[in-house]
C-alpha cells in the first residue's frame, strides 16, 4: 500500500507524500549500509568539452544489504562551471522501484539528491544512481572541472544510515594534453593567473580569505584518475616590489622582492596539493608579483606546471592599464567609463592561428562576475558590451570592476566603474 501511495504522489506536493516519506525515515533497522562499498563510473568524455556538454557518472555499489534509502551530496569546481544538475535512480535501484521525491536540490556549487523505496529493499552489487552536470556559459574550455561525491549515506531509514567512503570520489574533466588526450600522467596547476587587490597589512600572511588571498591547487592525475601521495616541490619567485607570502597547511613562507622560496608537499586523497599566496599593501605604489611553479618527479608528463599572481594597490581612479601584453590580442579603454547602463570594451585580435582568448569581468576581490568572450577569434575588431549582470543574469551593485583579457602571452586589465 505504501508503494502505491508513493507512486501516486510523485510529482505532487501533497500531505500523503510527506507522511509516506516520514514513515520510511522512522523504520529502525541498524547498520544495513555498514559493509557497502561505492565507486564512480564515469560515462562522459575526459577531453574536448564545449559549453552545453554534460559530465556524467554513475554511483556503483557493492555489498548492499537491505537498503531502502540512499542520499548523495556532490559539489564541483569552478563554482560557476555547471548550469544544471540532473539525477535519477539507476540499475538495481530501478529494479527495486526506488523513486526520488524531487530533483536534485542545487545551492551554489552543491547539489543534494535522495532516493528511497517502499518495495523490496535492494541487496547485492550494481549501479544505484546516475548524475549529469551540464556545463554552463560561464565555463571556458581552458578550465578543468572537478566533481566530488562529498557524501553518500545508505540505510534502511533516515535515522539509520551509514556514510559510505568512495574510491575515488572525484570525477576529473579537462586534464588533457595539447593533443586533446588525457595525460598519462601529469601535473596541472589552477588557476593559471590571478589579479587581486593587495591585502591590508594586518591580514596578509595567513589563510583568512583577505582581499589579496589567491588560492592555487596543483592536481596530480593519471588519465582521469587522481594520484594521491605524490611528492611535489613548490617554488615561489617574487618578481614584484612588495612582499609575497606563501601559505600551506602548516607552513608560511615570506618571499621578499627579488627572491624565491621552495617547499615540499604531498598530494592528498584526490591528488590535489593546495597553496595560498598573498601580498600586503606596502605604500609608494609597491606591486606584488609572483611566479609559482610546482614539479613532481620525472615519471610525470608534464613534470611541472606554472602560474602567476599579481596584486595591485587599491583602485583610486578609473584609467586603462597602459601596458598591453605582447600577444595577438588587446583591449581598448572602455567607453563610457564610468557608466550607468552599458559600457563597451573593444577587443582587437591580429593572429590568424588558433590562439584562444578570454575576456572576463571580475569584482574588486578578484571573483569572476561574467564572461564577455571566450575561445578563438579570427583577426578583427569585436565590440563587447556589458550592462551590469553577473553570469546568472542578476544585476550587480555599483562599484569598481576589472575587465581582464587573458591569453597565452599575458594578461591585460582595465578597470570599470559602474554607477547605478
Task: Select the CATH number that applies to the domain covering 2-171 from these four: 3.90.1300.10, 2.60.40.680, 3.20.20.70, 3.40.50.300.
Answer: 2.60.40.680
Joined grid coordinates for residue 163: 556514510
* Overall fold of domain 186-312: Immunoglobulin-like (2.60.40)
- Give pLDDT, residue 382: 83
Give the C-alpha separation, 161 to 28, whole Å.
10
Q: How does pLDDT run across 35-69, given as a tens digit for each residue?
A: 788 888 999 988 888 889 999 999 999 988 889 99
Helix, strand counts (H, E) of the chain = 3, 28
* CATH of the domain spanning 329-418: 2.60.40.1930
Say if CB 151 and CB 87 are below 8 A apart.
Answer: no
Higher model confidence: residue 296 or residue 350? 296
Give percent of the chain above pLDDT 70.
84
- Give pLDDT, residue 165: 67
Helix (H, G, I), strand (E, B) or coil at 393: coil
Provide CATH 2.60.40.1930 ranges for the chain: 329-418
What's the pTM value of the predicted model, to 2 decimals? 0.61
Provide CATH 2.60.40.680 ranges for the chain: 2-171
- Angle in degrees, CA 395, 76, 275, rounded to 5: 100
Give the C-alpha separation, 345 to 371, whole Å.
12
Provide CATH 2.60.40.10 ranges for the chain: 186-312
Q: How does pLDDT run across 144-195, given as a tens digit for each residue?
A: 899 999 888 888 876 776 677 666 688 888 888 778 888 777 888 888 888 7
Q: How does pLDDT run across 384-394, given as a tens digit for each residue?
A: 889 888 877 78
| Mean pLDDT within 217-235 | 88
Q: What is the CA radius of gyration of the chain?
A: 25
Amino acid at each position: 500500500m505504501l508503494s502505491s501511495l508513493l507512486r501516486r504522489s510523485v510529482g505532487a506536493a501533497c500531505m500523503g507524500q510527506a507522511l509516506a516519506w516520514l514513515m520510511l525515515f522512522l523504520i529502525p533497522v541498524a547498520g544495513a549500509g555498514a559493509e557497502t562499498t561505492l565507486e564512480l563510473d564515469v560515462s562522459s568524455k575526459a577531453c574536448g568539452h564545449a559549453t552545453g556538454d554534460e559530465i556524467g557518472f554513475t554511483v556503483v555499489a557493492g555489498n548492499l544489504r537491505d537498503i531502502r534509502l540512499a542520499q548523495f551530496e556532490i559539489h564541483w569546481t569552478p563554482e560557476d562551471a555547471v548550469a544544471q544538475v540532473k539525477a535519477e535512480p539507476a540499475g538495481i535501484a530501478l529494479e527495486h522501484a526506488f523513486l526520488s521525491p524531487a530533483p536534485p536540490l542545487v545551492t551554489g556549487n552543491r547539489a543534494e539528491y535522495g532516493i528511497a523505496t517502499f518495495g523490496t529493499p535492494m541487496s547485492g552489487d550494481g549501479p544505484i544512481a546516475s548524475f549529469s552536470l551540464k556545463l554552463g556559459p560561464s565555463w571556458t574550455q581552458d578550465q578543468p572541472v572537478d566533481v566530488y561525491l562529498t557524501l553518500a549515506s545508505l540505510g534502511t531509514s533516515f535515522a539509520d544510515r551509514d556514510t559510505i567512503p568512495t574510491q575515488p570520489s572525484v570525477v576529473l574533466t579537462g586534464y588533457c594534453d595539447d593533443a586533446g588526450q588525457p595525460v598519462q600522467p601529469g601535473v596541472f596547476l589552477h588557476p593559471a593567473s590571478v589579479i587581486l587587490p593587495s591585502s591590508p597589512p594586518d591580514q596578509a600572511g595567513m589563510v583568512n580569505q583577505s582581499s589579496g588571498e589567491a588560492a592555487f591547487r596543483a592536481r596530480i592525475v593519471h588519465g582521469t584518475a587522481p594520484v594521491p601521495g605524490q611528492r611535489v616541490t613548490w617554488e615561489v619567485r617574487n618578481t614584484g616590489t612588495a612582499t609575497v607570502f606563501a601559505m600551506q597547511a602548516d607552513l608560511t613562507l615570506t618571499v621578499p622582492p627579488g627572491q624565491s622560496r621552495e617547499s615540499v608537499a604531498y598530494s592528498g586523497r584526490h591528488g590535489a596539493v593546495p597553496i595560498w599566496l598573498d601580498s600586503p599593501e606596502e605604500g609608494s605604489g609597491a606591486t606584488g608579483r609572483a611566479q609559482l611553479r610546482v614539479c613532481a618527479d620525472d615519471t610525470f608528463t608534464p613534470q611541472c606546471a606554472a602560474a602567476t599572481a599579481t596584486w595591485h594597490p587599491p583602485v583610486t581612479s578609473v584609467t586603462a592599464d597602459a601596458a598591453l601584453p605582447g600577444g595577438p590580442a588587446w583591449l581598448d579603454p572602455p567607453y563610457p567609463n564610468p557608466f550607468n547602463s552599458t559600457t563597451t570594451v573593444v577587443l582587437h585580435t591580429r593572429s590568424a592561428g588558433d590562439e584562444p582568448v578570454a575576456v572576463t569581468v571580475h569584482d574588486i576581490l578578484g571573483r569572476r562576475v561574467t564572461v564577455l568572450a571566450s575561445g578563438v577569434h579570427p583577426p578583427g575588431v569585436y565590440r563587447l558590451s556589458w550592462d551590469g549582470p553577473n553570469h546568472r543574469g542578476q544585476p550587480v551593485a555599483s562599484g569598481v570592476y576589472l575587465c581582464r583579457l587573458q591569453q597565452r602571452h599575458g594578461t591585460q586589465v582595465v578597470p570599470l566603474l559602474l554607477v547605478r
